[in-house]
Amino acid sequence: MKSTDRKNTSRRNCIFILLSVALILSAQKVQAEQPESDGNNSNIKASEESTKDAPIMEEVLVQDSRPYPELLHSSATAGSVLLRNDFDDAAPNLTDTLDHQTGLHVTRSGGSAAFSTLSIRGSTADQVQIFVDGIHLNSAGGGPVDLSRIPLGNIARMEIYRGSAPVYFGTSSIGGVLSISTLEAEALELRVSAGGGSFGERHAALFFSEQQSNWNLALGMDYSGQEGNFTYRNDNGTRFDSSDDRTITRQNNAFDQANLLLKSRIKLPCSGCDLSLTVLDWFFYRNQGVAGLGQFETERASSKQIDNLNALKLDALGLAGRIDWNLLAAFRYSKNSFSDPLEEIGLNSADVEDISYAPSLMSYYSAEISNWLNWNGQQTYRYEQLQPSEGSLAAAESQRHMASVSQEAQFLIEKAQLVITPSAGIESAYSTQNASDEPANYSDSDDTAVSYRLSLTNKSIPDTRLLINGGSASRFPSLFELFGNNGKVLGNTGLKKETSYGAEAGVIYESTMLPFPYRLRLELFGFYTEMRDLIQFVQSAQNVSIAENIDSARIWGVESGLRSDLFGHLRLAANYTYMNTRNTGDVAAKNGNRLPMRPASQWYARAEAYFMRVSEFNEISFYTEAEWSAGNYLDNANLVAVGSRLRINSGFALDLGGARLSFAANNLSGEQTQDLAGYPLPGRNFHFDISWKIL
């Protein structure tokens, strides 16, 4: 227990007496249960285990409440951590899980497998960096990461960094970072699950792990699919005339996808340190129909995606007793195929196939110089080659070399309980294209960006952290924005990088005065960001657009969040985000307008009642959640408005120890809306899952 906490012993005892009375009057005692592993990296502290444990207190003792898990790579950044139990029963897919988090907004173009993108604090989706086990998923070719391609089945942990990115990731980020960690072996285990739901939804998964003294092995297989044949209201293109509206069934919206995870860690001999090698392969495949706008259905348009991540990671912990070092070598292969034989979406019936290769090398170290100074550093090199087929919307064959170096110092002023963290990084991108063998068709772009950040964290108030951050970030133009040339869209090698300058201040309160295992966490942040030289495609002639640095924007807002586990029977989660977004560019038609697809207000609330050791059940839980999003606009001119949206979900879970059943009913009101103009979302639907732990 901290020295500052001891001074508050009498206050804690009073609070504890009141809570003890509540315990005695409670219908059921809090019972003992061994903490379960969250299935994640063994380096993550025990305090970050399952949020659903509820140990007994056979004897009444005053002890610190177990804390909620914290971000691994920065204690001075606003963010969220989700462990496996946080999303096992909460949502059937990654997009719904993220849409419930503070400061995040997911935009979809249809149902479960439709293209979905993530915005953090009003950023564009391109400005959010996404990693899987440290491997960068953002493509130099252009376009944001499609969240629907990342299945939940093999995810153990997610970390969301809102705003600035820690030096660990080796890249600055205007929008923030989503870091995903896959499952890892921690014991001998065999687990299978299956389920389904509305509109032909089905899924099945298997996870096996083996743990030995010097090595472990994890194997995960996951399949999901859906027909996607929900009904929706077609306004026939006459939005303000309901006389010709009709209810029809969504067609050509089916998908099948599978992913395979193979992960092994081998402990290597090392005198005086913990040395290990991790081998990873994550394979993903999807085959899906490409449904058109709600007004214009398709019959034959389809796409296929193949993605494969390979990685070797060397971890050397405790070198010389003070240094942790990681070396990650990764290779990513991605192939996207699109077929439109009836020209239902594009103007070309030829099949399109884009292939990219992306090897990378990353080194990171963290050194404890003294008891008041830590030093962290990161170096990354990444190469990406894009090979599009003729008629593709991507750039012609092109490539990019990227390198970055980042350094960070952490100074502790113990008497003031203050941590000062300055950091800086430099990134360089060299992009080339050679559309033919003729030297005259050779183009290149070379740019460098410097980013910096200063953070202050104060812990002088018991159970409270005060945080202040300020800094800059950049985004290089994509290969498509630089070199694109498909007849309708032209790139521009003279583009400048997008830049941002921002600051945030916040307070995080996490009580240690509650008896174990009660928990309470509150957070409140305010943020301000200015973005410059935003890249837009501007019409320069009839049916021709060219990439230009034309826009700038200003965003400020407030976000708050709550998580608690109280009385041995109640878990609460809630968050609220308000954003004021304004276009500050020079175009009169857009200046002063709100940025499109950024709702000004969003809130989410979830209440879950749970009961431990009821008859044959380890746990029985019931939850209800509601999410609301204010109306917003779909265009920069603020002419096409979208109304507010309210969704109410409910469900339950039954845990028999070796087996678990969960059921969720979503969008109980049946409200049908659109996230993008003309792309309908499903109404009322349900989802169930049965899992069985064999070993």
Q: Which residue has the tokens 């970072």?
A: 177
Is the model's pLDDT at 295 over the cut of 80? no
CA distance linking residue 325 with residue 74, whole number of Å: 16
- Whole-number mean pLDDT of the chain? 84
CA distance linking residue 681 with residue 108, whole number of Å: 8
| pTM for the structure as a whole | 0.86
pLDDT value for 75? 73
Q: How distant, in Å, are the alpha carbons of 107, 269, 279, 324, 365 from that of 316? A: 40, 11, 15, 6, 9
Is the model's pLDDT at 37 over the cut of 60? no
Q: Which residue has the tokens 């129909």?
A: 289
pLDDT value for 24? 34
Which range has the top average pLDDT, 404-418, 424-438, 540-554, 636-650?
404-418
Task: Say if CB 80 and CB 92 are below 8 A apart.
Answer: no
Per-residue pLDDT of 505-555, as tens digits, reads 999 999 988 887 889 999 999 999 999 999 887 776 656 778 888 889 999
pLDDT value for 53? 42
Query: Collapsing DSSP states into helix, strand and coil, what is residue 55?
Result: coil
pLDDT value for 250? 86
Give the pLDDT band (50/70/90) at residue 31: very low
Residue 6: in which H helix or E strand, if any?
A: helix 3-6
Buried/exposed 413-423: b ≥16 CB within 10 Å, e otherwise: eeeebebbbeb
What are the two backbone dihedrals, phi and then psi, of residue 483, each rounded to the nearest 5 degrees?
Answer: -120, 0
Average pLDDT score over residue span 121-137: 92
Is the model's pLDDT at 410 over the cut of 80? yes
Distance of alpha carbon 501 from its chain centroid, rounded?
22
* 517 upstream amide cis, omega within 30 of 0: yes
Per-residue pLDDT of 560-606, as tens digits, reads 999 999 888 999 999 999 999 999 988 888 889 998 888 999 999 99
Q: Which residue has the tokens 């993903």?
A: 284
Average pLDDT score over residue span 401-428: 95
Is the model's pLDDT at 245 over the cut of 60? yes
* 439 upstream amide cis, omega within 30 of 0: no
Give the pLDDT band (50/70/90) at residue 48: very low
Is the model's pLDDT at 655 over the cut of 80? yes
Task: Say if CB 161 and CB 74 are below 8 A apart.
Answer: yes
pLDDT value for 340? 84
User: Percent of the chain at pLDDT above 70?
Assistant: 84
Number of H helices, E strands in the chain: 5, 36
CATH number of 79-693: 2.40.170.20
Give the pLDDT band (50/70/90) at residue 237: low
Is the model's pLDDT at 291 over the cut of 90? no
Is the model's pLDDT at 213 over the cut of 80? yes
Q: Domain map of the chain by residue range?
A: 79-693
Q: Which amino acid is at 175?
A: G
pLDDT value for 485? 67
Query: Collapsing DSSP states into helix, strand and coil, what is residue 48?
Result: helix
Give strand pairing partners of 365.
325, 377
